[in-house]
């Protein structure tokens, strides 16, 4: 190639190269432009390999100009490279931008089990009336569970069909009520006694919508000077109104329990229909809530209390039954199935 041909090839290497670099749209395109401009088959490389055919002076002159072109092309590549990198960086800022002012994902909080809430609510009401909370063993002595509570030897509750005995002697069992806790409280303390005893109890029942073989009871006991049936009625009236509604009446129906005399079952006026009869109260107008009575004298004697001076009243209720009533649950087995759809229905319910 003549010097003038080489000279115009070098010109083309520069203008064409700069145009190719300017035309690159992204880093990959710039990579291809670099190969086309500085690669082995590029116009600039062809100028360089033709230099050896020139004489000394022309070679030095064209070599110098070729180096200048190379420097300019490298400079242009470097500049575009930097621009692409900066653009990429700012894209990444956009992509990964985090708005710290957005509200976070609220964590799902657990909640108390509906039965636990009912138990705490009932215990709270009696705490407010000055009662202490007591508990005792679930594996209990027959003497505390039945004998001390005035169950006669033939009482059906004592049968193996109704009670879970532990071992063969008949002396140890799973408590059938929390009453032995109150017996232990009386045994170890002098009157006045005001206690509530929430706890797990066991009875050998077949499971159905209203029966479980293990259930939560809450019992209460008040022993003091001058306690009468009027105290029983006033206290339980206050309790029922606090739990079910301010203006609801209660009524007492005579009943029998070995540990209380006289004994009664207490109903509260139906909080849905207020007495006219509906599905919730089974057309009765009243809903049975608990059993109660005046502490039977043999129990006070067993505790060594002066029966001339002290009298008392007691009551007992099944927590599942009350919780089911309060929340319209048709089957008390739901409380033990741990079905989250059921439990979540009580989220945030007081």
Tokens of 256: 């029998």
- Going from the C-alpha of 41 to that of each of 1, 34, 48, 91, 280, the distances in angstroms are 16, 12, 11, 35, 95
Q: Under the phi-then-psi rule, with left for phi > 0, alpha for psi from -120 to 50, and beta for the rest, what region is 208?
A: beta
Min dist CB 259 to ligand 2U9, Å, is 4
Query: Closest residue (Cβ) to ligand 2U9?
Result: 291
Please say whether the beta carbons of 219 and 315 come within 8 A.
Answer: yes
Nearest CA-CA partner of 118 in 339, 328, 340:
328
Min dist CB 344 to ligand 2U9, Å, is 28
- Residue number with CB closer to ligand 2U9 (29 or 137): 137
Min dist CB 116 to ligand 2U9, Å, is 17
Buried residues in 114-137 as b, exposed as e (16+ CB within 10 A)? bbebbbebbbebbeeeebeebebe
- Going from the C-alpha of 79 to that of each of 18, 31, 109, 255, the distances in angstroms are 12, 13, 55, 100
Min dist CB 185 to ligand 2U9, Å, is 8
- Residue number with CB closer to ligand 2U9 (10 or 290): 290
- Residue number with CB closer to ligand 2U9 (88 or 190): 190
- Residue number with CB closer to ligand 2U9 (13 or 299): 299
- Residue number with CB closer to ligand 2U9 (73 or 332): 332
Min dist CB 277 to ligand 2U9, Å, is 24
Residues forming contacts to ligand 2U9 in the complex (CB under 6 A) are 177, 179, 182-183, 186, 217, 219, 221, 257, 259-260, 290-293, 295, 299, 314-318
Residue 252 CB contacts under 8 Å (≥ 6 apart), including other chains: 233, 264, 265, 266, 292
Min dist CB 266 to ligand 2U9, Å, is 9
- Residue number with CB closer to ligand 2U9 (37 or 227): 227
């Amino acid at each position: 190639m003549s010097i003038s041909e080489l000279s115009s090839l070098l010109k083309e290497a520069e203008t064409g190269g700069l145009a190719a670099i300017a035309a690159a749209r992204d880093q990959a395109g710039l990579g291809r432009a670099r190969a086309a401009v500085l690669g082995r088959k590029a116009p600039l490389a062809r100028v360089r390999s033709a230099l050896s055919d020139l004489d000394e002076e022309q070679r030095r002159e064209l070599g110098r100009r070729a180096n200048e072109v190379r420097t300019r092309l490298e400079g242009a590549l470097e500049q575009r490279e930097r621009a692409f990198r900066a653009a990429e960086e700012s894209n990444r800022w956009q992509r990964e931008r985090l708005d710290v002012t957005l509200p976070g994902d609220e964590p799902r909080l657990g909640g108390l089990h509906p039965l636990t809430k009912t138990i705490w609510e009932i215990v709270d009401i009696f705490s407010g009336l000055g009662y202490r909370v007591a508990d005792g063993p679930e594996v209990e002595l027959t003497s505390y569970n039945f004998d001390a509570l005035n169950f006669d030897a033939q009482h059906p509750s004592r049968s193996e069909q109704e009670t879970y005995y532990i071992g063969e002697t008949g002396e140890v069992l799973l408590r059938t009520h929390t009453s032995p806790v109150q017996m232990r409280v009386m045994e170890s303390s002098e009157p006045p006694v005001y206690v509530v005893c929430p706890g797990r109890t066991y009875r050998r029942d077949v499971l159905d919508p209203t029966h479980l073989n293990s259930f939560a009871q809450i019992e209460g006991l008040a022993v003091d000077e001058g306690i009468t049936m009027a105290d029983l009625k006033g206290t339980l009236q206050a309790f029922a109104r606090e739990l079910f509604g301010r203006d609801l009446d209660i009524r007492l129906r005579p009943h029998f329990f070995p540990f209380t005399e006289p004994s009664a079952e207490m109903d509260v006026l139906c909080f849905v229909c207020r007495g006219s009869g509906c599905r919730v109260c089974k057309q009765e107008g009243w809903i049975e809530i608990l059993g109660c009575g005046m502490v039977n004298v043999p129990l006070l004697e067993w505790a060594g209390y002066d029966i001339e001076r002290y009298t008392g009243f007691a009551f007992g209720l099944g927590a599942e039954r009350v919780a089911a009533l309060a929340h319209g649950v048709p089957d008390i087995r739901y409380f033990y199935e741990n079905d989250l759809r059921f439990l979540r229905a009580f989220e945030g319910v007081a």
